[in-house]
Chains A and B, each alone.
Chain A
Amino acid sequence: MSERHAEHYVAPVDDNEKIEVDSVRLGDRRSNLWIDAWRDLRRRPLFYVALVIVCVVALAAAWPTLFTQVAPNRGCELALSNGGPTAGHPLGFTRQGCDVYSRVVWGARTSLSVGMLVVLITAFIGIPMGALAGFFGGKVDSILSRIGDIFFSIPYFLAAIVVMSVLSENRNVLTIAFAIAGFAWASLARIVRAEVLRIKNLEYVAASTAVGRSRFATLVGHVLPNSLTPVIVTLTISLGSAIVAEAALSFLGIGLGSSVMSWGNDISQAQVTIKTAPMALFWPSLFLTITVLAFIMLGELVRDGLDPKARARR
């Protein structure tokens, strides 16, 4: 031990009165998590970029004829196989002589329907599984979490490969969505469970039980709505991943039939001519990437905006 002692430290006297520290100024702008996030997002240019892309893709999915008058499957002429751009056909032709631009536009519908269905199914299974496990704990938790572990332990793309391989007769948007979401829900369930565990011990939950609401009503009325923030972010990002998964399955030839417009199908068909006609491969790849990027970026930005710590760091 050294002989020198530091002088006793005394904190400086805080001149602020307690009431000032705790006071809430009524003139301040109304604020909550989502309002703060919105104020933050409004100032980020990338947010608008992502939003515009998502809106355009959604428009193309809902009303493809707004963007192109050319039918994607009809009027294909083999004479035009892998032809370059001409008037009315700005992106050239596929190997089968179909209009690339029109196929790309119509492909948005497939991608987006698969993505949204996957999100719906994932939420439909994942949220109850996670919420019940986290809220009721004990045996319910053990059983539901073990079931989740099993689904979590099979990489969902491999599982989807098996399902789609076996379903060679029934490959459509719905089965592909089930094949992807049937295993992807497990990671959402984990997130929901963790969030519910955090929230169920807060005072307002205890208050709700104290005034006589049933456990289940408390879960649905108070715990779930307050644990949805990470769920929304995760689902936005998983919409992007689902679109990639669909394209990958179609690329492997076990996705949608070749008559269906899908970016994965077009990429798969164009890969043979990568040397001679790279553009037919490039366009569907580009639109796929931009769409996926927009959804992932949107999710990330919203996550950032909702996180006060991340906001403070910027």
Chain B
Amino acid sequence: MLRYILRRLLQAVPVFLGTTFLIYFMVFAMPGNPIVALFGDKTPNPAQVAVLEAQYNLDKPFFVQYVLYLKNVLTGDLGTTFSGRNVNEVFGATFPVTLKLVLMAVVLEFVLSVVIGLISGLREGKYFDNASVVVALVLNSLPVFVALFLAQYFIGIKWGLAPVTVGRDTSWGAMFVPALVIALTIYVTGMRLMRGSVIEARSEDYVRTAYAKGLTSRRIVPVHIARNSLIPVVTNSAASFGALIAGTTITEGIYNIPGVGNTLFQAIIRGENATVVSFVTILTLLYVIVNILVDLLYAVLDPRIRYV
């Protein structure tokens, strides 16, 4: 197991180098003056230009620039935002909010997947099953911003059940609606996994044995069928945790949730590209790290995975 962990961590090194290099390359090897590009539509202020040129070492050859930039990333120095705040500080303040939102969304996704997948699998081919497959497909095709606007309009404006935006109040209750919307647009994968493994489990010998012993469905369904079908759903939820950590930009922007994604959203809208690059780097690294953890979790949960 330890060897597997070390191996997986070693594999992450080239990925880490590659992703940081690609992001750097995308910005600084593009035609035109990268510093001007970093300012977007704004007119650069000479003082800020000097700061950025120093930060990215633009007077040196490209690879030296990259190595120095990598050193900054590794030592946790991601520069400052346009308003002059330290990127790390902003990240530290906003990350707990994003984490809260994503955790809630993943838990809701898991519950939806398990409950709907279980019922669908038990009633394969019946009305509920067919309907739930179609509904999941429609929800899955709904672009997240469309889903959020629908929620804002109906839940927030028309029926007045919840606030239209989140704003400063980042309690669990205030962020429930956006978390639910995220969960609804992504639960289809988990639901299918659950449904598939329930259908498979129902025809397994151990289930037939359990029925033959005289157990009732009330015990067989939760203990024999559901429990054995959970592993793929758990790992799928863990994977969507990673994807969401890096993918709440639009949700947080629309619902005005003061998280990492919203910081990125505001920077994009205002054309503050240096901030965009810093936050995309952070989110990508987080995504890589969470994915490693997911792989390890998978190995722990499923003994059939060989640790080679």
**Among candidates A147, A165, A289, residue contacting B143 with C-beta atoms closer than 8 Å:** A289
B152: nearest residue on chain A (CB-CB)? A274
Is A158 among interface residues, defined by CB-CB distance under 8 A? Answer: yes
**Among candidates A147, A149, A159, A252, residue contacting B268 with C-beta atoms closer than 8 Å:** A252
Is B99 among interface residues, defined by CB-CB distance under 8 A? Answer: no
- Contact flags A3-38 to B (C-beta < 8 A → 1, else 0): 000000000000000000000000000000000000
- Contact flags B152-187 to A (C-beta < 8 A → 1, else 0): 110001000000000000000000000000000000
- Residues in B with CB closer than 8 Å to A271 are 149, 254
Chain A contact residues: over half helix, strand or loop, or mixed?
A: helix
CA distance A254 to B152 in the complex (A): 23
Whole-angstrom distance between the Cβ of A46 and the nearest chain B Cβ? 8
B154: nearest residue on chain A (CB-CB)? A278
A296 touches B271 (CB 8 A): no
CA distance A267 to B137 in the complex (A): 22
Is B140 among interface residues, defined by CB-CB distance under 8 A? Answer: yes
- Residues in A with CB closer than 8 Å to B145 are 247-248, 251, 267
A153 touches B41 (CB 8 A): no
**Among candidates A153, A252, A274, A289, residue contacting B18 with C-beta atoms closer than 8 Å:** A153
A167 touches B30 (CB 8 A): yes
CA distance A244 to B19 in the complex (A): 24
A153 touches B15 (CB 8 A): yes
Interface size on B, residues (CB 8 A): 54
- Residues in B with CB closer than 8 Å to A296 are 137, 140-141
Whole-angstrom distance between the Cβ of A119 and the nearest chain B Cβ? 17
CA distance A46 to B146 in the complex (A): 23
- Residues in B with CB closer than 8 Å to A313 are 124-125, 199
Q: A158-B284, A167-B30, A254-B268 are in contact. Are A153 and B141 (CB under 8 A)?
A: no
A247 touches B143 (CB 8 A): yes
- Residues in B with CB closer than 8 Å to A136 are none
B280 touches A168 (CB 8 A): no
Is A292 among interface residues, defined by CB-CB distance under 8 A? Answer: yes
B40 touches A149 (CB 8 A): no
- Residues in B with CB closer than 8 Å to A210 are none
Is A209 among interface residues, defined by CB-CB distance under 8 A? Answer: no
Q: Give 20 CB contacts A-B under 8 Å.
A: A146-B14, A146-B15, A153-B19, A153-B284, A154-B284, A154-B287, A158-B280, A161-B264, A162-B23, A165-B277, A166-B26, A166-B34, A166-B273, A167-B30, A275-B157, A281-B153, A285-B146, A289-B141, A297-B137, A313-B199
In the complex, besides A46-B134, A168-B40, 4 extra interface pairs with C-beta distance below 8 angstroms are A153-B284, A154-B23, A169-B32, A289-B146
